[in-house]
Structure formats: C-alpha cells, structure tokens
Structure 1
Amino acid sequence: MAIIGKIRKQSTLLLIVIGVALLAFIMGDFVRKSSRPQNVLGSIDGESISYTEFINRFYEQEDIYKRNTGKDNITAEEAFQIRNMIWENYLQEAIIGKEMTKLGISVTDEEMEDLIVGLNPHPYIQQIFTDPESGQFSPVFVEQFVSNLENARPEEREFFNQIKEEIKRERLNNKYNSLIAKSFYMPKAIAQITYENSAATREVSIVQVNYQNIPDEEFTLTDADYKAWYDEHKYFFKQEDAVDVEYVIFDIRPTEEDLEDIAEEVEAMYEDFLEHDNAAAFVNTLADARYDSSYFKPGTLPIGFDTLVFNMPEGSYIEPFIEDEGYYFGKILTVANRPDSIKASHLLIQYKDARGAETERTKEEAKAMIDSLLIASKRVQGSFEAAILEISEYPTAKQDEGNLDWMLDGDLNFQLFFDSLITTSVNDYRIVESALGYHLLKVTDKTAPMKKVQIAIGRKLIEPSENTIEDVYMLANKLSGESETIEQFNNNIIGMGLSKRLGERIDKNQYTLPGVKDGREAVRWCFDKNTKVGNVSQVYDVDGKYLVVALQRKYEEGYASLEDVKKIIEPMVYRDKKAEKLIADINAAGAKDLQAIADKYNTEVENLPNVVFASHNLGRFGPEIGVIGSIFGSKKGVVSQATKGEMGVYVYVVNNITNAEPTEDYFFVKMQAERMFTQRVNSSLFEALKEKTKIKDNRVDFF
C-alpha cells in the first residue's frame, strides 16, 4: 500500500510518462504494421489467405464445436486448436484440392444425400441427430430436418451447411488417399526379391572392434573434418523458425499469514453456520460454494465427508477439515434409501396453456383422461403400450414408444420423474404433472435402494490474498523492469534467489512452454519482429502464475549452421576418424584369422547363425544395415576386409548360405507390401506434398 501512496504523490509525472509511452507505442505499432500487409495471414503457393476470411471460418468452426460439446464458451487453448485445424484445412484445400481437380475427383449430389439421409449416414450426422433422451440416433429427425430446412432458423441452416462442407471435405480426402493407395503395384520380379531378402539367411563368424576401445584423445579433429561430415549429412539438419528462451515462473501461493487469516475466517464462518436455521440457504451465501440438492451415495463426496456422513444421523454437523486446497464443513439434511437408477416409460396428455400444447383441452379434462388411462393400464395388459402409440402427445412417442430408458438419481432433466417413482414398484404406474402436462409413468426396472444423504456443504478455498498476489507481481515486475539484457536477467535471477527454466527450439506455432500451459502470448513475443535476441519480456499472467521470458537465441528456417551443430556431430566425426584408422590397420596387417584380430583388440569372435537381409539388426550389435549388406554380398568361406559399421569396425566370414525356398506364389508378399504402402499413404502423403509447396505462415502475428 505504501507503493500505491508514492504513485499517487507522483500522479502528474506519471501521466506525462504514460502519455509519452503510449504515443511511442502507437507510433511503433503503426510503423510495424505498415511494414507488411495488415490483412494477410499467410499464403500457399502464392495464394494469399486474408485474416478476415480466416476469422470468419473460425467463428463457423467455433459454433460447430460449441454445439457438439454443449459448451457456451471455449477456452483459449480450444480456440488455438480450432485455428490450427482451420489452417490445416486451408493447406488440404490448396494442396490436395489442386491434385483432386487435376484428377477429376469429386463428390456427387447423390453421394452427399446418401451420407446425410442414407442407411449408414456420416458419423457427424449420427452425432448431431441423436435423441438426447434415448441416446439413440434418429433417422426420422434427419429426414424431418432436411425436408423443413427452408423453414429452419438462419443459424440452423448455416450450421447444417457447415457440417455438409466438413463431410464433403473428409469424403474427398478419403477418395484421394484411396486412389493413391490403390495405384500401388508390385511387379513379380520385385516381389521375388522382397521374398528372398526376407527368407534367405547367412551364418557368420564375426569380430567387432568397438569404437569405444579407442580414446578420442588419439585424434585431432580439424575444421575440414567437421565440414566434410556436415556437408555429407546436411539434410539431417533442416530446421524451421524456432527460438531458445530462458524464463522464470512465479508461483502465487498463500503465505503463512494468508493461511492463518483463512483459518480464522473459516472458524467464524462455521460458527455462523451452526446458528443459521437454513443450512442450504447459508451455503448459497458463500463465495466458494453452492448448495447441491442431490442425494449422494458412498464414494461420491470428498473423503472427509465420505468417511463420516453415512454413519451419522440427520441434523449432524461436520466440522471444518482441509481437502483439495480448500476448507470444507457441512450439515446432513436428509438420510434416505434410494435407488441409483430407475427405468421407465411414459405417455403425455396435454392441456391448454401447457408448454408446447396444441389443444383446447382443459386441465380438468386432461386430468380425467389421465386417470382413466391409469385405470385401464392397470386392468388391461398392453393397453398402456397401445395408448403410447395412439394417444400420447409427446413428440417422439411413436419413434421411441415412450421409453425414457434409465434415469439417474441427480439428473436434473428427470428429477421430477425420478423422485415421484422412488417408492413405485416395478410394473406399477404413477401420474406426474410437469410443465408439459400430465404424464402416466410405468416403472419397467430399477436398481436396489442404497443409503444416500442430502448434505449442505460449505467451502472456503485456500487462496493467496490480494496482498500476496500483488507482492509476487511486484517481484516479477522487478525482474522484468531491471533486466534490459539477458545478462542482467541472469544476474538478477541469482540476486533475487529465483530459479530459471530453459525452453529449447520453441516453434512459432507452439501454445505451451515447459511448465506453462498457456504460454502463447510469450511465444508470440519471442517471434515479434521487434523482439531481439537478449531482450526481456514484460510480465505475463498465465495459469494463475506470473511469467518473465528472455530471448536467448533465434533459429532461421533452412539448415542449421555448422557452428550450431558442431557439438552434436562431434561424436560422429570422431567415429569416422576411428573407422579410418581401424580399417587401415586391420587391412594393412592382412590378417585372415578372426581369433587373431579378436585377441589383438581384446574382443571375441561371435557366431551369428541367422542373419537376415531384410532385418536392420545384426544380432546383439544392433542396427548395422551397411554391414548386413556387405555380408550378403560376400562369398562363403572368405574372410572379409575390415568393414565400417555404426558401432564399430567388423571382420567376418560367411560359414553357411541358406537361400529362400523357390516359389511362384508371392501373394502374401504383395499383400503385406500393399498394406504398408497404404499406411504410408495415409500417414505421409499430405506431408510429402506439403514439403513441395511454398507456404508462408504469418499466424503468429495475429494469434
């Protein structure tokens, strides 16, 4: 509070400083935005994607997502995922769409009709037109909706058209992938070679001289050695735009003083709770609790309650206890034996002014009618089921035969019915009035009653106070404000006793940082054109924590430089030097005795009875593709020259050659190859086409 007082005293100076800073920010933002097209979010093969078009698609997909999930709002992470999906759709349309146009691939009107109202509609249609009460897909709903589409609300028509576009896009992609996969053909000669490579074997005696047997210190690596290896393997080091960052996470936790204050507050709260006549109403006055009128069974309450309340009488109080970062206390309002689920069927008789009613029937007439149906249902077997189909005024009665399926205790949609049927026996009936009218319900099944409690639960979260939050923010702001360079950033971390984290090769389209779930704004700052290596960020409020980031390094799209990878490739450069020396020494000695070579290099001769050409592994030596190839190119009984491998240099002799059994049936070979090819098409085709496409992605400038 003293800090705020000082700020107030300097308010005039502060306003001047803010005004100058704001003007500088506006001018800087204007200059920055003027340096690139403001509305271009990216381009694919020279075709620009406007921000306006992209964001309109986003709103469409957001609406679909909300409808599918039943959510009113989406999180920042969900919005990020939707934007990524839209970007991928743009890529699919531009890259594969171009290919499909060339090939004449399309989806006909007849196909679309079959995917929507056919016998086996698309999963999207099945999901959207599932009856919320029965949980079953209703083809009737689809047909009714499509036939009345012109009369539907504009937002419903728009939503349905979006779904159709998604279905069409998926269908086109499936056709394209299927076409590529089915274009696979393996000639008989290739099938024969593939078969022989997997069936032929060699038995060998072999010596490995491991590279680790020679110390690195025996060699001096030159810049030319590094460059030669790098140039030969440069393709390994292709990279995208990325950054390395250093950052500090400031956790906001309650202090000891906060914990003492909360404990005192809970004690006072509980005393008021004991004196209050209406426990449920009292709970609803609390900031961190709302009364839940459900009946709870064992295993559904916090452990502190669950271990006590089922052995306590109505009216009992539970003193405050700590669980799951909060204080809890409560009062048992009701103890009752109730089933967990009830299965029932119903019919509905409406009256004038009932919700959704289209009848002039009076309430008295409706009551007399439902009473008569009750009497008939009890007297005449099957009359209830017949009445559902002939008389019931519930909209789906004819489709679902009045079946409500299993109703769960606590489901607010069916609580009125459930509570009315608790004491009703299986195959017995009950009349219930709702806003829709009079229902005649029949219990068709129910679970065994169990002990449940209705309880008023008070809760107070254990949270840091406003003063604590302000103190942590001031600490984070101090680190940010007093660190103009990354050197100062690191010195201040040490001086302030903080812990630093590292993030390596952070991609511009990444949402998180290690340990930070919502790090998107910090990532965007790193890739901002005005952010330079060595800069330190402002304070970010993320996941209930504060975050300060320093930009350590930037990587440009292309190939990593030799300097960037020098330490990474050093073991391989040493390996190649060792291989050169070992091969030269072994071959110069002209040794033809494997045991002599093994003795000289303090190793052993090993026998490998079943080396397969198609295998990548050479026994216990691991992946040695080159050495396996050499073995299969060697004659029986001839000691080989020294051969370079991944883990060492090898000398071997082929003791026995077993060729594949002759055959003319390569069906299974071709089938397996085709299956593998299809899998590669599904997983790699789009990425392969994307590699050949010029893509400019500016999303980080916008989101």
Structure 2
Amino acid sequence: MKRFNFEGGNFAELAKNYSVDGSKDKGGELGTFARGAMVPEFENAAFDGKAGDIKVVKSQFGYHILKIEKQIGSSKVAKLAYVEKTLAASSKTQAAAYKAASNFLADVKGNDFAKLATQKGLKVAVADRVAATQGFAAGLDNPRKLIQDAYAADKGDVLPEIYTMSNAYVVARLTNVSPKGTLSLADVKKEIEPMVRNAVKAKLLKEKLVNAGKGNIDQVGAKLARPVSPVQNIVFANPVIPGVAQENALVGSVFGSQPGKLSAPVQGERGVYVFSVDGFTNPAPIANMFKQKEGMLLSLGQRSLGAAFQALQDNAQIKDNRVKFY
C-alpha cells in the first residue's frame, strides 16, 4: 500500500516530493498491515475498499491519499456494544401480580397453602426463627409489617393482608410458634440432625483408629490407607491447623501430650485425628509483664460489664412489646 498527502500523477514521485509522512522516502510504501495497526479512519478506508482503489481520508494527522495495491486474506469484523438498562415492572405487570396475590389470599383459606401455591405456579419460601424485633427475613426486603402481624396471629393462620416488597407481593402463613424456654426434640431435630450424624461418624472413625493398633503414626496411616501430613509451628493461642480448619480440641490435645508418643483419637470439627508430637519450642519470655497485666484487666473489665448486663436482662421479668409499635 502507498500513501501521500497531495494530488498528483506518479504516486511514488509525488510521495517523495510532497508527503510529510515517514514513508515518503519509500515512495509512500507502507507494506502489509493488519487491523489495529492504523488509526480507525485510515484502517476503515483500507479494509473496506478493494485492490486498485484510491481514497482520500481525513484523520487526526491530516489528509491522506492512499492507494490499495493488494489485499491478503479476508476476515469479518463485528462491532459490539453493551447497553445496560434497569428493568422495572410496568403498571400492567404489577396489577396482574397483585390480582394473582389477591385471588390466592381469597382461595387459600381452608386449603393447603403449599399445595395451592404449587397449583397456581407461585413460589413458596420459608423464613425460619424470625424474632419479634427482627428487621429482616430471608427473601424479604421490607418485612416489618409482616413480622408484626405474624406475632399477633396463631399457628396456622394466613396473615390478613398482601405485603408489598420492592419486587413482589407476599401472602404469608404462620407455620409454627416456638414457645419460650427449652425447645422440644421435634422443634430442634432438623437443626441438630447434622451434628448427630457427625457425632456417630466420629464414633465409628475413632473405633477404626483404635483398631488400627499401636506403633508409630506412619504405620497407622499405612493400615488405614491415609496420608500422614506434617504440620509445623502450631501455636496454642491460635488453634488453626493450616489447610484444614480451626480445631480447638486437637490443638489443646497436642499441647497436653508427650513428644514421640502416638495420641489417642481426637474428635475435631472436620474429622477425627491421631498425631505424634516431635517436640515443643518454648516461647520468648514476655518483656513487659505490667503491660500484659494491664491489658488483661482492661479486657476482663469490659467483659464483666457486658456479662452483668446480660445476667440482669436474662433474669428480668419484663415482657417486650416493642413488636406492636415498631
């Protein structure tokens, strides 16, 4: 491709005589270039034309006269643009949603709430353990009025109105009321079931480790086909096993063991462990015991104030009625 900046006859001669471009000494010859090498105006003229075309182009550098001598290959170029726009429900959509909620509220009385919602194609969600003064609930962005009405209702009641959220209308039913005090097994079964499963698994694993026999830790690992992982620089004040988790029981057992002795199985948060301690390193002596003591006393003082207030709160015979007003 050749380029020069003035009109004339012989392209190469005119480029040498009149062009101010760096290619003037080569007769305006630019060689072969790909997209992205030139300014957009020049590039578009070169790639949108065909061999033999002579074009005049204006860019930020001035006017250019270019002759397309040859084009090699071909490629399709696509221009992309991202347009972001917030979508909001129209008044027609809102009216249709409110009508569906109204019809559901009218039909649900005396019917199975979840079954009817499924039949009508409505979403059913559950918010567990909602406190009276709570200002939030799972999946709801403005639930205060709903929570107030729930605490005025009885178990099984469908709440009396349709609640408006930022992007939804909600019809609610009070599924359960938890009495104050110790909960029954049925009330906590769902919550404690994973912990019970882990406890049973831990018991089985501990028995398996005991049955693996004595000896050193490498022999136990070989019998159980489990890798033995070395862990260094465990600190009692920071009971975290690198790459595993915080394991308070395990780290406490480590610092209560004898070096070189295979431990008994220890149940932790993420598994059951056996270990053998190579040795302990004594920490550096504390340089200023007065500052340490002062910091501990300050911390204990702050904790005692909070604990005293909590004790008064727990033993006070005061009924909290804020839910009725806020």
Where on the TM-score scale, by shorter chain, does this alignment land: which range? Answer: 0.5 to 0.7
**C-alpha distance in structure 2 between counterparts of 1:325 and 1:663, whole Å:** 62
**What per-residue deviation string (whole Å, max 9, x for no partner) do you get for residues 159-200 of structure 1?**
xxxxxxxxxxxxxxxxxxxxxxxxxxxxxxxxxxxxxxxxxx
Amino acid paired to 2:245: G
Local SS of the residue matching 1:554 = coil
Once the 2 structures are TM-superposed, how far is the Cα of residue 512 of structure 1 from its aligned partner?
A: 4.5
Structure 1 pair 475–677 and aligned structure 2 pair: CA distance change class (3 A)? same
Which residue in the other structure is 1:504 paired with? 128
Q: RMSD of the alignment, in Å?
A: 3.3
Which residue in the other structure is 2:143 paired with? 519
Superposition TM-score, scaled by structure 1 size: 0.31
Which residue in the other structure is 2:160 paired with? 538
- Please show how residues 455-466 of structure 1 align to structure 2 within 5 Å: 464=91
**What per-residue deviation string (whole Å, max 9, x for no partner) do you get for residues 573-600 of structure 1?**
2332333333334334532121111112
Larger RCO: 1 or 2 (CA < 8 Å, sep 6+): 1
Q: Quick check: 1:578 aligned with 2:201? A: yes
Structure 1 pair 622–496 and aligned structure 2 pair: CA distance change class (3 A)? closer
Q: Quick check: 1:494 aligned with 2:118? A: yes
- Identity of paired residues, percent? 29
Amino acid paired to 1:693: A
**C-alpha distance in structure 1 between counterparts of 2:173 and 2:129, whole Å:** 14
**What per-residue deviation string (whole Å, max 9, x for no partner) do you get for residues 274-310 of structure 1?**
xxxxxxxxxxxxxxxxxxxxxxxxxxxxxxxxxxxxx
**C-alpha distance in structure 2 between counterparts of 1:611 and 1:527, whole Å:** 50
**C-alpha distance in structure 1 between counterparts of 2:262 and 2:86, whole Å:** 71
Which residue in the other structure is 1:622 paired with? 245
Contact 1:586 1:642 in 2 (8 A): yes
Contact 1:616 1:623 in 2 (8 A): yes
**C-alpha distance in structure 1 between counterparts of 2:243 and 2:143, whole Å:** 44
**C-alpha distance in structure 2 between counterparts of 1:585 and 1:511, whole Å:** 48
Contact 2:240 2:248 in 1 (8 A): yes
The structure whose residues are more often strand, as a share, is 1
Once the 2 structures are TM-superposed, how far is the Cα of residue 701 of structure 1 from its aligned partner?
A: 3.8
Structure 1 pair 569–496 and aligned structure 2 pair: CA distance change class (3 A)? closer
Unaligned runs of 5+ in 1: 1-322, 327-461
Which residue in the other structure is 1:258 paired with? none
The structure whose residues are more often helix, as a share, is 1
Which residue in the other structure is 1:631 paired with? 254
Which residue in the other structure is 2:269 paired with? 646
**C-alpha distance in structure 2 between counterparts of 1:522 and 1:561, whole Å:** 26
Once the 2 structures are TM-superposed, how far is the Cα of residue 514 of structure 1 from its aligned partner?
A: 4.2
**C-alpha distance in structure 1 between counterparts of 2:307 and 2:123, whole Å:** 41
Count the aligned residue pairs: 241
Contact 2:141 2:165 in 1 (8 A): yes
Structure 1 pair 571–601 and aligned structure 2 pair: CA distance change class (3 A)? farther
Amino acid paired to 2:205: L
**C-alpha distance in structure 2 between counterparts of 1:558 and 1:485, whole Å:** 32
**What per-residue deviation string (whole Å, max 9, x for no partner) do you get for residues 498-530 of structure 1?**
2333322222223444454443332222111xx
**C-alpha distance in structure 2 between counterparts of 1:592 and 1:619, whole Å:** 26
Structure with the greater alpha carbon radius of gyration: 2
**C-alpha distance in structure 1 between counterparts of 2:95 and 2:208, whole Å:** 71
- Please show how residues 648-687 of structure 1 align to structure 2 within 5 Å: 648-662=271-285, 665-674=288-297, 676-677=299-300, 680=303, 686-687=309-310
- Please show how residues 373-522 of structure 1 align to structure 2 within 5 Å: 464=91, 472-485=97-110, 487=112, 489-522=113-146
Q: Quick check: 1:599 aligned with 2:222? A: yes
Unaligned runs of 5+ in 2: 1-84
Local SS of the residue matching 1:636 = coil
**C-alpha distance in structure 1 between counterparts of 2:90 and 2:287, whole Å:** 76
**C-alpha distance in structure 2 between counterparts of 1:513 and 1:588, whole Å:** 49
Once the 2 structures are TM-superposed, how far is the Cα of residue 638 of structure 1 from its aligned partner?
A: 1.9
Amino acid paired to 1:597: V
Once the 2 structures are TM-superposed, how far is the Cα of residue 561 of structure 1 from its aligned partner?
A: 2.2
Which residue in the other structure is 2:69 paired with? none
**C-alpha distance in structure 2 between counterparts of 1:476 and 1:572, whole Å:** 39
Structure 1 pair 492–477 and aligned structure 2 pair: CA distance change class (3 A)? same
Contact 2:265 2:273 in 1 (8 A): yes
Q: Quick check: 1:698 aligned with 2:321? A: yes
Which residue in the other structure is 1:612 paired with? 235
Local SS of the residue matching 2:234 = strand
Contact 1:539 1:546 in 2 (8 A): no
Contact 1:516 1:542 in 2 (8 A): no
**C-alpha distance in structure 1 between counterparts of 2:120 and 2:300, whole Å:** 58
Structure 1 pair 629–480 and aligned structure 2 pair: CA distance change class (3 A)? same
Superposition TM-score, scaled by structure 2 size: 0.62
Contact 1:485 1:534 in 2 (8 A): no
Contact 1:511 1:517 in 2 (8 A): no
Contact 2:259 2:276 in 1 (8 A): yes
- Please show how residues 38-117 of structure 1 align to structure 2 within 5 Å: none
